Amino acid sequence: MAKRVPFVCGNWKMHHGVEATRKQVRALVEGLARVQGKVEVAVAPVATTLFAACEAARGSGLKIAAQNVHWAEKGAFTGEWSAAHLVELGVSHAICGHSERRAMFGDDDVTVPKRVRAALDAGLIPIACVGETLAEREGNQTAVVVARQTGAILELIKADEVERLVLAYEPVWAIGTGKNATPTQAQEVHAQIRALLAKRYGAKAEAVRLQYGGSVKPDNAAELMREHDVDGALVGGAALEAASLLAIAEGGMQRA
């Protein structure tokens, strides 16, 4: 097993206002000792609560992520925010190309790599998402889709910075459906992604953390993260309560 520290990130999507964010972040900070040094934990709140989240997490090991980032430094992009804005707040990570952004807001293999590039240039750690729809899986297109999406992202990643990248495989058919890929299915795709990384970056590929996302819960997290190339989880609904996210993070401690 490669010595990659498991990384669990809770994506709160459009849930929790300022006070609820403070409450959950404080609870995460209080419980972080259970996994400190063994599993890295982050949470991605609503953009309007990022300041409150960063304030509540300051001085702890809890990382704060944004759910999105624009590729431009500044300009006429109403409703967007730049990587520099996030850094100024104290944000350390940015999710790029989540399947909901791809499906509902037009993100694609052109814009997602640009978001990743902007995050890296600003010193943020990008969590770049890839994954296939149900129709693509049923059409035996998983490998093709994941290779295309991953390849587009890697085109803009330099060899000396790839170890800062986090890639999240999130099968679209498993997000919010209660269905999840089996550990074997997740490992198969993660191994494919690792092979793509190795072909381009050689031994550096072993340092890149690959998260699985798609109906991850406390009762299946450990089994998923025991797989060789599943280095953590990008968690949706089960991350809304601190106790649940911490229980998922504890699943990462069982990696051999």
Per-residue pLDDT reduced to its tens digit, 94-103 = 999 999 999 9
- Please state the rounded mean pLDDT for residues 208-232: 95
Tell me which of 170, 190, 227, 250 is the catalytic residue.
170
Helix (H, G, I), strand (E, B) or coil at 40: strand
What Cα–Cα distance (Å) separates residue 176 from each residue in 12, 19, 98, 213?
12, 25, 13, 10
The answer to whether residue 80 is catalytic is no
Q: Average pLDDT over the chain, rounded to whole?
A: 95
Query: Considering the entire predicted model, what is its pTM?
Result: 0.96
Tell me which of 16, 70, 85, 98 is the catalytic residue.
98
- CATH superfamily, domain 7-254, is Aldolase class I (3.20.20.70)
**What was the pLDDT predicted at 2?**
52
The answer to whether residue 170 is catalytic is yes
What Cα–Cα distance (Å) separates residue 63 from each residue in 8, 54, 202, 206?
10, 8, 29, 23
Ranges of H-type helices in 70-161: 83-89, 99-105, 111-122, 134-138, 142-154
**What are the pLDDT digits (tens) for 3-29?**
899 999 999 999 999 999 999 999 999
Confidence of residue 200 (pLDDT cuts 50, 70, 90): very high
